Amino acid sequence: MRATVHRVAPRARSCDSDRSMTPLKQVWDREVVGRLLDHGMSGVDPLRAELLRDVRGRVVEIGFGTGANLPFYPDAVSELVAVEPSVGLAERARPRLEAWGRPHRVVSASASRPLPLDARSFDAAVVTFVLCSVNDVKAVLGEVARLLAPGAPLFLAEHVAAPRGALRQVQKTIRPAWSALLGGCDPARDTRARLDENGWDTSTLRDVALELPYPVRPGLVGTTRLAARSSA
């Protein structure tokens, strides 16, 4: 089957962290944020490989960024729908996606509002290092839940709030500057609590130390399902 790229027009307010979508913002995202993501996050590549090795079927990845997960998708992934609201990051990802050679589609929209994708139409969802920079976590998790087939898994990796102590204080102190510089990224987000509140079974997620800079070293990684659907 030939790979296809289909882009959905960006909406006026298409990204929690990229509301303006000005040409300057696009260039900033492509050249600055994109480079930071490509070079600054290579330490988590082994974690990506481990997390994604059992992904299969028709997959939706929310917050595709520059496509850092692409090399780690196993052959069992038959189709990928990449949701990415930042035009600049999507531009940077495009050649990688085309070289990937399997059926794919880019949806240029925020997942905090309904995406133009059918409910229950995906075998798996992937969210890595995204929930830290999303304003409306509940809405994004609700959209992931809508898209997944009953019982289908969400593969997740996030940096999260440190439980307590000095690092927690550091995260809170640097939060405003960190967030302003890095696209709204909150170093002190309690993502396990947000998942619990929204009906995901977090008992399957591991707390890990990420190979990332000190303030964002605490991580949450694994496969989760909606608790009400976790019969499998």
Least distance CB 204 / ligand SAM (angstroms): 20
The nearer residue to ligand SAM, 178 or 200, going by C-beta atoms, is 178
Stretch that binds ligand SAM, among 83-91, 160-168, 195-203, 219-227 (CB under 6 A): 83-91
Q: Does 47 bind ligand SAM (CB under 6 A)?
A: no
User: Binder to ligand SAM among 34, 52, 55, 63 (CB under 6 A)?
Assistant: 63
Q: Does 111 bind ligand SAM (CB under 6 A)?
A: yes
User: Binder to ligand SAM among 26, 30, 34, 37 (CB under 6 A)?
Assistant: 37
Q: How far apart are CA 1 and CA 206, in angstroms?
A: 37
Q: Round to the nearest angstrom and report the end-to-end CA distance of the chain.
A: 31
Q: Does 17 bind ligand SAM (CB under 6 A)?
A: yes
Stretch that binds ligand SAM, among 70-78, 123-131, 173-181, 194-202 (CB under 6 A): 123-131
Number of helices followed by number of strands (H, E) in the chain? 7, 8
Exposed/middle/buried for 174, CB within 10 Å: 0-12, 13-18, 19+? Answer: middle
User: Binder to ligand SAM among 52, 59, 140, 210 (CB under 6 A)?
Assistant: 140
User: Binder to ligand SAM among 26, 84, 137, 187 (CB under 6 A)?
Assistant: 84
Tokens found for residue 231? 């019969």
Q: What is the CA radius of gyration of the chain?
A: 17
Question: Which residues lie closer than 8 Å to 122 by C-beta, 6 or more apart?
Answer: 57, 58, 59, 60, 81, 147, 148, 149, 152
Contact 53, 74 (CB under 8 A): yes
Q: How far apart are CA 81 and CA 103, in angstroms?
A: 9
Q: Does 26 bind ligand SAM (CB under 6 A)?
A: no
Least distance CB 17 / ligand SAM (angstroms): 5
Residues forming contacts to ligand SAM in the complex (CB under 6 A) are 15-17, 37, 41, 62-63, 65, 68-69, 83-86, 89, 110-112, 128-130, 133-134, 140
